[in-house]
Amino acid sequence: MNSATDVFEPLRAEDPRTVAGYRIAARLGAGGMGRVYLSHTPGGRPVAIKVVRPELAEDPVFRRRFRREVVAARRVRGAYTAEVIDADTDATPPWLATLYVPGPSLTEAVAKRGPLPVPAVLWLMAGVAEALQAIHEAGIVHRDLKPSNVLLASDGPRVIDFGISTASDTTAPTATGSTIGTPQYMAPEQALAGETTAATDVFALGQTAAYAALGEPLYGTGPSMTVLFRIVHSAPDLSRLPERLQPLLARCLASAPEERATPTEIVEWCREQLGEDASDTSGGSPAVWREVLGPDVEVPDPAPGPATGHETPKVWGPKPPTPEERRKRRRRAAVAIPSAMVAGLLLMGGAVWMVKETADRMRGREASAARSPGPAASASASASASASGSGSGSAGSATGGKAAEGSGSAPAPSASQPPQANPYPRMRLDDEQSSITLGEALVRNDRSGEIRMSCKRSICSLESDTATIIMLYGGTQGSLDSCRSTLALTTDRSWTLAGAAGGSQFCIRNKAGDVGLYVLGYKSTAEVMGMPQWISGDMTVWRQAMPAT
């Protein structure tokens, strides 16, 4: 699974070339809910775009369920999950975008190389258990955890596809008495259409791990009802499994949900068992994991821009307005225009009066100053001198972000002179070791700066006590204007890095009104045997670009 031709399919005639601004590079596959395509963010980060099948998109019940589940999936933040980064549940057809994981599914890996060695199974279980922790902490039960929904990335597994998960605070999306999931990996209570809880996902994790170790489902194959009968009425045969795995899998596959291990217990048990097998992490993961994966997957380049010929690329997105909608808009405009004209005339009259009043006052002040030069004239001369020296002050800001000596602070931009972009390349932040002061774009070797990086387990975030932070999504290009518009809508002082990768863009605003755009270059946030956690990227700062707070 190391060639682009093994993973990516060429686009077909019926496939879109663009979905809501995302240019499609290849087809990844299709499932019961829709088709999945490869695309890229503006910074070049690969993403998977799932487009809902048209017949499902026409079902209002499905749309309500899909909208609810996308909202739920957005709450999941974990190092071992493929995070939802963008979606439009009201589009025609609906779609969502998740981070693309460059690696095979567990199903594909086992089909290619056979059962995994025990250390690789332990590494797999620890990563999936951490993913379940993040999913359950968001109030979600996955309900369809299975080998095809576990992707094997170079630094560990990723759990994907919350398409049929349900938030614990919403009603189930199926009729009473129906089941949801894949028979070979269901828990007994799920097979009986009973209550599904976090323990249901643990049972599925045990089955998934057994599949990785055996190369086949633990409860065998055959008609769905036959497999479900075995799961409900018979104990699993663990004697075929490697002896090291049997104690943990016995707890995961307990018939009673309350007797099963928790994800936290699974992580701790696997780490103890890994021991020296996990000591070689020079490549970001144990050597045995890298042997299972083989060479890295070659991801196709981003799709090119629109063709210059006569062919119009197929675009999926909002429908154009119908004739009836256009007539309604014209009627609304016919009512709005006279009102706007009246308001405009009133404003114009007020403006003329204000200009005349201001001019009279200025003429009076000028006449007074000519008769008696004093402090006002001195202040005017001082302002003129400051204005004439603003060019040198701006140059100093561009080269070092510092105000001219003796000035006290950088000059504020005038209305005729927009804020100047000050670039600061290769700004690195380390967990618990450094910080950045935005006003000077200076990396400090302590935590006293305005922006810090903080990690708990493998969940790292950008944090601040005073500055607001937001990540740009949906193909938005980072700029002063886009940062201003998004920062005006947020009060968040922290932002998770779980869904960020090379090319991700963060807008930051401090109390002085300075605006920063941080473009992530590299990230090392996976917690692997004490390896340092850090990020590095390029910062652009605009001084006093927004009102101070």
Catalytic residue positions, numbered: 144
Q: Which helix (H) or strand (E) holds 494?
A: strand 494-496
Please compute Rg for the chain using Cα positions. Answer: 30
Place of tokens 């497999």: 227
Q: Report which of 208, 207, 187 is spatially closest to residue 198, judged by C-alpha positions.
A: 187
Q: Cα-Cα-Cα-Cα dihedral of 100, 102, 106, 109, to 10°?
A: 150
Place of tokens 């990086």: 453
Contacts of residue 342, Cβ cutoff 8 Å, sequence gap at least 6: none
Q: Distance between alpha carbon 10 and the CA centroid of its chain, in Å?
A: 26
**Exposure of 255 in the CB half-sphere (CA atoms within 13 A):** 8
Tokens coding 42: 């503006």
Q: Which residues on neighbouring strands pair with residue 156, listed in sequence order?
A: 153
Phi and psi of 184, rounded to 5°? -60, -15
What's the CA gap between 304 and 373, in Å, rounded? Answer: 67
Tokens coding 207: 């089955």
The CB density around residue 383, as the number of other CB atoms within 10 Å, is 10
Q: Distance between alpha carbon 452 and the CA centroid of its chain, in Å?
A: 19
The CB density around residue 15, as the number of other CB atoms within 10 Å, is 17
3 state DSSP class of 348 = helix
Helices (H), 253-299: 263-274, 287-293
Strands 451-456 and 459-463: antiparallel
What's the DSSP call for residue 29? E
The CB density around residue 9, as the number of other CB atoms within 10 Å, is 15
Place of tokens 């290769």: 426
Q: Distance between alpha carbon 133 and the CA centroid of its chain, in Å?
A: 18
The CB density around residue 36, as the number of other CB atoms within 10 Å, is 18
Place of tokens 């994800």: 263
What's the CA gap between 364 and 372, in Å, rounded? Answer: 12
Helices (H), 253-371: 263-274, 287-293, 323-371
Over the range 114-152, which residues count as b (16 or more CB within 10 Å of their CB) and which as e? ebbbbbbbbbbbbbbbbbbbbbbebebbbbbbbbbbbbb
Q: Report which of 494, 531, 506, 459 is spatially closest to residue 83, judged by C-alpha positions.
A: 459
Q: Distance between alpha carbon 347 and the CA centroid of its chain, in Å?
A: 45
